[in-house]
Amino acid sequence: MFRRMTRERYLSDDELHRFMAVVRERRHVHQPRDYALFSLLANTGMRPAEARALVRESVQVDGPHPLVRVFRLKKMKTVPEFDDLPMPVETAEAMRSHMATLPEHPQQPLFVIQRRQLQRVFYAYCKAAGIVGVNLYSLRHTAATRIYCATRDLRTVQAVLGHETPDMTSLYAHVPDSLLKDLARTFPAIV
């Protein structure tokens, strides 16, 4: 069956800040896990299934350049494929706090949460932040859009998302209205 690819909605910077503030401020037993997980998804653009597959040894949070080694589930051909993605310092700090609550075993899964449970948690945080019309994959679109706005380079977004072709990446990297307004101000007119 053919699945038509549509452009998902991404979270604006304001919505992302509100969402992460709700995740950061809610106090419950899973708050460190949730904050680390959603920060990772929103800042690296990895797929939720890839984040759920991470183990302790996949993440390097100490040092000047924190990174996460992502096992690319979509690229499994004959041999497993890995990509090393940089993490913002804030995300590395959230990961460090979450990892402090876990056993010290290299193969310890970082996020023990089922797919449906993760979706329910995401929707609960969105509701608390007043965000509607998004789904869990919107965080991947948000990361792609933010990376594109920062670099203006589709190939960089393609490398971060782990896509094989730029065609797929173009579905993820949205061009926000603010970028179009900046272009209108900086693009030289020919008269």
Does 76 have pLDDT greater than 80?
no
Residue range 83-90: mean pLDDT, rounded: 90
Q: Answer for the pair 140, 161: CB distance below 8 angstroms, yes or no.
A: yes
Q: What is the pLDDT of residues 124-145, one digit of tens each?
A: 999 999 999 999 999 998 998 8
The secondary structure of the chain in percent helix, strand, coil, rounded to multiples of 5, reads 55, 5, 40
Question: What is the model's pTM?
Answer: 0.84
For 31-163, where are the E strands, in sequence order? Answer: 59-60, 67-71, 82-86
13-185 has CATH 1.10.443.10 classification: yes
State residue 68 phi and psi, 5-degree precision. -130, 130
Residue range 56-72: mean pLDDT, rounded: 90
Does 184 have pLDDT greater than 90?
no
Q: Would residue 130 be called left, alpha or beta, if left means φ above 0 and alpha means ψ between -120 and 50 degrees?
A: left
Q: Nearest CA to 115 among 62, 187, 44, 37?
A: 37
**In Å, what is the CA distance from 83 to each residue of 69, 155, 183?**
6, 15, 33
Does 50 have pLDDT greater than 60?
yes
